[in-house]
Amino acid sequence: MSVSPAANNTDRPEFLNARGGRNKLHPADVHGRFLRWRRIVYAVLILHYLALPFIKNGAHPAIHLDIEARRFYLAGQAFNAQDVWLIVFLLAAFAFGLVFVTSWAGRVWCGWACPQTVFLEGVYRPIERWIEGNSTQRQRLDESPWGVRKLALRVIKQFIYVAVSLALAHWALAFFVPVPQLTQIVLHGPAGHATLFKWAMGLTALIWFNFAWFREQLCVIVCPYGRLQSVLLDKQSLIIGYDESRGEPRGKKLKVLQGDSPRVGDCIDCGLCVRVCPTGIDIRQGPQMECIGCAQCIDACDDVMKHVERPRGLIRYDSLVGFEGGEKKVLRPRLMIYGSLSVAAAFAVFIDVATLRSPFEANLLRGHGTTYVLDGNSIRDQFELHVVNKHVGPADFEISIKAPPEAIIVLPQPTLHLESLQDLRTPLFVSTDRANYHGSFDIEVTLSDRTSERSRTIVGHFIGPPVTPR
């Protein structure tokens, strides 16, 4: 069944029918200041999403997640699998940031920046409106019997939906496979890249299913963030709510004029705030988990208030304390704790990237097998110098060794050229005459990075057979 959300005067939200099944919603069109701002924000976010794969930072895209090679390029920095702990801190910074924003401004993320809302309200719904008309026309079309017109409109809409989903899926893949490479793969057909093709088709199907059919169910049934609202919000959090003290008792002004009612509040019970709601709830029943904070009901009600010559803001952004006429507080302990945790996690990443992070990794490892080799009159130790280039581009390294005079050094590769995130093991042989050996000694291996002009010295221990005291 399809409905244009309307106040049903029950506790049941409009997205559910009496049997608990889904009512397909056709939220009414709305105009107003919040819609204008949301459209600007959506446009900026969508343009960012479309532009990001084309923005390069050196030789690599600004965001390139090479899962197969376990290499990640983010904002001019190269990361490999060993840096995964930084991702944990980054995610923690984002999660605490989101918790902070929610605690402060409610579901502003859901209504203004979540990809689900941005693409549904910024791309798919406008396409639907353009092809099938406003909510009343769409609902009539849903309920009309199948005929040539309905079939044609549905085929055109789904064709465009699939094309847009296909494009969005390929844009998502462009974060994993750079655009020039992806373009070549697409032009050459799926035969040589079956796995990537399956990913592209799977993503397309998922995006199409979500935006063409599943829609608000993702927010009200699937999304875990929505379920967490009640623990993240407090009475001072900014939410979208209905001013009951001003709006009630709701009713038509006509009733007062006709003497049927001594007084009515500002709410004329037109039901427009419910009809525009993309999740089909009645915000007049109080804050609800299904509210995604899109502000459509504010715009709708402000418009109504203008027509009945009452001040706007019957539905507005305010805190529960604000709606009750209490004192508002911006700085609260939970806000400061969430904010501090987010800043601390982000700061840890920043400190590592900006100061501690070395543009290369170097480790001196012992060669496989026995600790030392006795070869005639000489004792030989074998090492391996393991180097990882963490520059976003290629880099050249120089190896120098400092060792006691009795040590004979054999270094087959004194200079190294490594591509970005390439790792290489180069052998190093240290030997000494048995006659000159008086116990283990240290060698200092210095790796100099010509690109960053940074160097690192690692100490290795030459170990020979036990020395008998003379």
Q: Copy the structure tokens of residue 276.
A: 């525009």
| CA–CA gap between residue 321 and residue 331 (Å, rounded) | 14
Is it true that the peptide bond before 249 is cis, omega within 30 degrees of 0?
A: yes
Considering beta carbons, is residue 273 or 445 the nearer one to ligand SF4? 273
Considering beta carbons, is residue 178 or 247 the nearer one to ligand SF4? 247
Considering beta carbons, is residue 26 or 60 the nearer one to ligand SF4? 26
* Nearest distance from C-beta of residue 298 to ligand SF4, angstroms: 7
Q: Copy the structure tokens of residue 82.
A: 């060993």
Considering beta carbons, is residue 13 or 178 the nearer one to ligand SF4? 13
Q: Copy the structure tokens of residue 321.
A: 């304390």
* Nearest distance from C-beta of residue 127 to ligand SF4, angstroms: 20
List own/partner pairs for 93-100 with CB under 8 A and 24 or more apart.
93/342, 93/343, 93/345, 93/346, 93/349, 94/342, 95/342, 96/338, 96/339, 96/341, 96/342, 96/345, 97/342, 97/346, 98/225, 99/232, 99/338, 99/342, 100/335, 100/338, 100/339, 100/342
Considering beta carbons, is residue 235 or 250 the nearer one to ligand SF4? 250
Residue numbers at the binding site for ligand SF4 (CB under 6 A): 240, 242, 247, 250, 267-273, 276-279, 281, 283-284, 291-297, 300-301, 304, 314-315
* Nearest distance from C-beta of residue 75 to ligand SF4, angstroms: 34
Taken in order 203, 204, 209, 214, is the CA torsion positive or negative?
Answer: positive
* Nearest distance from C-beta of residue 295 to ligand SF4, angstroms: 5
* Nearest distance from C-beta of residue 272 to ligand SF4, angstroms: 4
* Nearest distance from C-beta of residue 125 to ligand SF4, angstroms: 13
Per this entry, what is the length of the chain?
Answer: 470
Considering beta carbons, is residue 273 or 407 the nearer one to ligand SF4? 273
Classify residue 108 as left (phi > 0), alpha (psi -120 to 50) or beta.
alpha
Work out the angle at residue 310's Cα, subtended by the Cα atoms of residues 306 and 311, and round it to the nearest 5 degrees: 85
For residue 289, give every residue at least 6 positions away whose Cβ sits within 8 Å of its Cβ, in sequence order, or none: 220, 226, 227, 229, 230
Q: In 229-289, which ranges are continuous DSSP H helix?
A: 229-232, 244-247, 253-257, 272-275
Q: Copy the structure tokens of residue 23.
A: 């009512």
* Nearest distance from C-beta of residue 304 to ligand SF4, angstroms: 5
Considering beta carbons, is residue 35 or 86 the nearer one to ligand SF4? 35
50 SS3 class? helix
* Nearest distance from C-beta of residue 332 to ligand SF4, angstroms: 23
Considering beta carbons, is residue 7 or 346 the nearer one to ligand SF4? 7
Considering beta carbons, is residue 291 or 421 the nearer one to ligand SF4? 291
* Nearest distance from C-beta of residue 309 to ligand SF4, angstroms: 13
- Closest CA relative to residue 130, chosen from 157, 161, 98: 157
Considering beta carbons, is residue 309 or 453 the nearer one to ligand SF4? 309
* Nearest distance from C-beta of residue 32 to ligand SF4, angstroms: 11
